[in-house]
Amino acid sequence: MRIIAILCLFLSVNAYSQNIYQIAKSTSRRGLRVNRTITVSPVHVRAAERVLAKRTLIGRPKISMEVGKAVISAKMKQPLVHPMRLSGGYNYLRTVNKKFKLSPQWKGVTESGLYNGVHHIVTQTVIDAIAKEVDIADTKEMKANAPAVYSPLHGNIRYTDFFHDHTTLLNTYHARGIRGIITDFYKNLNKVHQELGLPIYEKDVIDCTLTEAELWAKRWEIRWE
């Protein structure tokens, strides 16, 4: 019985979805109202609060403490923005896309010749490699909340290696963590954009991605920096 009790406690601490998003019914063409639930270890509450501080909130977040975890509920405004102005994890970007996809500025966001959908900044192959190193067997939830981006060059065959150089990404992770991967990604991508005369990713978008990624890295106990 004692072993079962210990196992139940372990599951209560580790078996949870980090982010759950629900689009409120009061959505308008100008933007969305998003109900967000963040579940984290109690030691990572401040990291979650830093994440929400980067968002436009409706009211104050509510925090409830449960066995081995903290559950934070918040209501957010998500304005209708260009895909390059959207930041967050993979699931969030996909959730918002479902509502914004009919907007003219979101045209082509899922087409292979253009954005080719959401891109995992830390590629799924690299996530699998990192997970193996820290003994995470199921990476589905890990990948769902991983840092991601919409890039107009993602579907361009000329830049396939840029987005999917798994060896370089893994080497960067071992040297400088997830922060290093994301910082290099935006620095190098903005350089290419400037050379091509494309808009660059603004600092606030990059900062928001980094803040979300830090919480993600801490959730899975992988190297942040």
Query: Does the structure show a pLDDT above 70 at 156?
Result: yes
Percentage of the chain with pLDDT > 90? 86
Query: Do the domain assignments include residue 68?
Result: yes
Query: Do the domain assignments include residue 8?
Result: no
* Phi, psi (rounded to 5 degrees) for 72: -115, 120
Q: How confident is the model at residue 75 (pLDDT cuts 50, 70, 90)?
A: very high
pLDDT in tens, 85-127: 999 999 999 999 999 998 999 999 999 889 999 999 999 999 9
Query: Do the domain assignments include residue 10?
Result: no
Euclidean distance between CA atoms 204 and 145, whole angstroms:
20
Query: Do the domain assignments include residue 7?
Result: no
Query: Do the domain assignments include residue 2?
Result: no
Q: How confident is the model at residue 24 (pLDDT cuts 50, 70, 90)?
A: confident
pTM for the whole structure: 0.91
> In this structure, what token pair is assigned to residue 42?
């109690």
- Domain containing 100 equals 15-219
Average predicted confidence (pLDDT) for the chain: 91
Q: Which ranges of the chain would DSSP assign to H, the alpha helix? A: 2-14, 45-53, 90-100, 124-133, 140-144, 160-163, 166-196, 203-219
Query: Do the domain assignments include residue 3?
Result: no
CB 24 within 8 A of CB 34: yes
Which among 82, 116, 111 is positioned nearest to 96, based on CA atoms?
Answer: 82
CB 114 within 8 A of CB 108: yes
> In this structure, what token pair is assigned to residue 115?
């954005």
* pLDDT attached to residue 28: 61
* Phi, psi (rounded to 5 degrees) for 89: -85, 170
Query: Do the domain assignments include residue 124?
Result: yes
Query: Do the domain assignments include residue 20?
Result: yes
* pLDDT attached to residue 79: 95
Mean pLDDT in residue range 190-213: 98
Domain count, the chain: 1
* Phi, psi (rounded to 5 degrees) for 136: -100, 115
Residue 14 CB neighbours (<10 A) = 13
